[in-house]
Amino acid sequence: MLKAHGITKTFGEGPSRTVALRDVDLSVDYGEMLYIVGPSGSGKTTLLSIISGILRPDAGQVVVKDRDIWTLDSDALAGFRLQTIGFVFQDYHLFPRLTTTENVAIPLILRRESWEQSLAQARRTLRIVGLETKEGLPPYKLSGGEKQRVAIARAIVSEPDLLVLDEPTASLDGETGRMIVSFVKENILNAHRAIVIVTHDSRIYEYATRVVRMEDGHIIPGGG
């Protein structure tokens, strides 16, 4: 499903110059739940952003479902992302002034589906993540685990083939974290999809189908 090759990314200049990724290769197959682990600052979020079409690499190629994504123009890339990729950010990125349902409906509204249809689909997706009683609430009235589930609902509402989660359990207790990850594995993963998760959380390792380790901008061969 996904092949990244020779990915390099540098931030800043002079003394603050940081090489975040050095010539990284990564493949993800259909049906995989791949974990990327490694110390803070090793380049995990940078790599997720690049394979998801959010951050442009300095060099290298990312092919998702036969599409060489960084050769697309920005409109084509935005459209492809809306159709194909769901991203859950490390810190949720929910819109504080929107309700739970409206937050989940955003990708559909961006796809120019009608407001009513988008909200109806958002409500169905909230039911899948067990939040049907929280539909009308703003994010600040939700617990950490509930916000995490809203972010997941927003990432899956458009039925993406590739679901990418950055530290989905970081702010959750062990029980809630395991619940969310096992939920995603059971309900989202299938033979036509793949999931990539960045995590520090050893309590959820049991759900991975494969683990790779990053260190200092590299993927460590055979690490995991």
> Where does this chain bind Mg ion (CB under 5 A)?
45
Cβ closer to ligand ATP: 102 or 167? 167
Instruction: List the interface residues with ligand ATP, window 13-32 (CB under 6 A).
Output: 18, 20
* Residue 11 makes contact with ligand ATP by CB under 6 A: yes
* Residue 118 makes contact with ligand ATP by CB under 6 A: no
* Residue 224 makes contact with ligand ATP by CB under 6 A: no
Question: Residue 209: is it exposed, middle or buried by C-beta count within 10 angstroms (0-12/13-18/19+)?
Answer: middle
Q: Least Å distance between CB 40 and ligand ATP?
A: 3
For residue 223, the partner it binds in Mg ion, ligand ATP, none, with Cβ less than 5 to 8 A by kind, is: none
Q: What's the DSSP call for residue 133?
A: G
For residue 84, the partner it binds in ligand ATP, Mg ion, none, with Cβ less than 5 to 8 A by kind, is: none
Of 102, 139, 97, nearest to 120 by C-alpha is 102
Q: Least Å distance between CB 25 and ligand ATP?
A: 17
User: Nearest-5° angle of CA 159, CA 9, CA 31?
Assistant: 30
Element of type H or E holding 125: helix 115-128
Residues 86 and 51: their CA atoms lie apart, in Å, by: 11
For residue 158, the partner it binds in Mg ion, ligand ATP, none, with Cβ less than 5 to 8 A by kind, is: none
For residue 42, the partner it binds in ligand ATP, Mg ion, none, with Cβ less than 5 to 8 A by kind, is: ligand ATP
Bridge partner list, 68:
63
Tokens of 195: 């999931």
Q: Least Å distance between CB 56 and ligand ATP?
A: 12
Cβ closer to ligand ATP: 9 or 193? 9
DSSP codes of every residue in 150-205? HHHHHHHTT--SEEEEESTTTTS-HHHHHHHHHHHHHHT--TT-EEEEE---GGGG
User: x-or-dash pattern for ligand ATP, window 36-55, by CB under 6 A?
Assistant: ----xxxxxxx---------
